[in-house]
Amino acid sequence: MERIRFGLIGAGRIARNRIAPGIHAATRATLYAAASRDLSRAESVRPERAYDSYDALLRDPNVDAVYVATHNGLHKELSIAALRAGKHVLCEKPLAMNARDCEEMLRAAESSGRLLAEAFMYRHHPQIARVRELVRSEAIGQVMAVEASFRFPLTNVDDVRMNAEWGGGALLDVGCYCVSASRLFLGDSPVGMTALAAYHPVKKVDTSLQGVLDYGSGRYAIISCGFDSGVHQKVVLCGTMGTIELSQPFKSWTGRPQITIRTGEREEVITLDAANTFQLEVDDLAQAILNGGTPLVDAGDALRNMEVLDRLGATASRRAENERGAEKERGV
């Protein structure tokens, strides 16, 4: 069976523990190369070739596609470099730090004739397809609200996710999942939104954000994300005839996620087997490359997600600035 030769760019904790094993487990891909500024880290993920620079990996003619697994601040630069080097790209979420950068990446993909996909691993779990089918069949009637939350404690202020210049903050790190889930079931174009956020006093990144997306006709998405509380993830779809609840919507590669459907007095629980979502997202891009198809989460989808994230972030920031201005006027 033909396999796509992947190069892994970045060898941090998630790359070593999840992404590299996912590529090794893939049926249509192989981990041919890895690059890290620390050569020993690149070697630790067991590629055929290890490099101590990203450029060296991109110059390797045997690399068909790259997985960009660096912090957010390098996504655009490295993805565009890879596309110009003739490589297909699977880039960690969020695809970029803002919609403007996403658009630049899309243009690079179009001009290179290569595929660009966002590594939103949760989208590849079979539970998501199952829930989408339940929604299409109107198992709970018309979806009127989506409640999506993803939170965990981040206490290390030196973590890259606390660096504003590198695209840090809770909204881009975990809020992107909540927005993605909301768009899946309510659509791409909310007519309005509001948001509240708390910001780190020194790092100036959002440590939590709560938002409401207004889809019109009484339909809303309520999102909650943060670095400031215990581990929590949940998606609830509220329909005119019932509800669907996902117990592990995002961190779904472990355990056995459950879908709970409630209509009237009836409750049905669907338990799914564990699935290696990292393997599935790699095989998805490999399959698209080999068959001339489209990845499940293509760059256009990533751009639409980022447009909503941009609006939420700007709304929360303006509100915080207005509150600071009001406090200053009151002499607080």
Per-10-residue mean pLDDT of the chain, 332 residues long, equals 94 96 98 97 98 98 98 98 98 98 98 98 98 98 98 96 97 98 95 97 97 98 97 97 97 94 96 96 98 97 98 96 80 70
pTM: 0.96
pLDDT at 328: 76
Strand partners, 51: 35
The predicted pLDDT at position 322 comes to 86
The dihedrals phi and psi of 68, each to the nearest 5 degrees, come to -85, 110
Helix (H) or strand (E) segment spanning residue 87: none
**Cα dihedral 53→59→63→66 (10° resolution):** 50
Instruction: Decide if 101 contacts 118 (C-beta within 8 A).
Output: no
Contacts made by residues 52-55, CB under 8 angstroms, sequence distance 24+: 54/9, 54/78, 54/81, 55/81
Written as six digits, the tokens of 103 are 């658009």
Q: Residue 123: which of 243, 290, 3, 302 has the closest Cα?
A: 302
Separation CA 38–CA 287 (nearest Å): 31
Find the angle CA(266)-CA(270)-CA(271) to the nearest 5 degrees.
Answer: 145
Residue 188 φ then ψ, to 5°:
-90, -15
Phi, psi angle pair for 67, to nearest 5°: -110, 115
Half-sphere exposure for 41 (CA within 13 Å, toward CB):
17
Please name the residues in contact with 93: beta carbons below 8 A apart, sequence gap of 6 or more.
118, 119, 120, 176, 177, 302
* 3-class state of residue 84 by DSSP: helix
DSSP state of 141: B
The answer to whether the CB of 221 falls within 8 A of the CB of 145 is yes
DSSP secondary structure string, 206-217?
EEEEEEEEE-ST
What is the Cα–Cα distance from 158 to 169, expressed in whole angstroms?
12
> What is the per-residue pLDDT for 332?
65
CB 181 within 8 A of CB 120: no
Cα separation, 43 vs 33, in Å, equals 9
- pLDDT value for 186: 97
Do 295 and 285 contact (CB within 8 A), yes or no?
A: yes
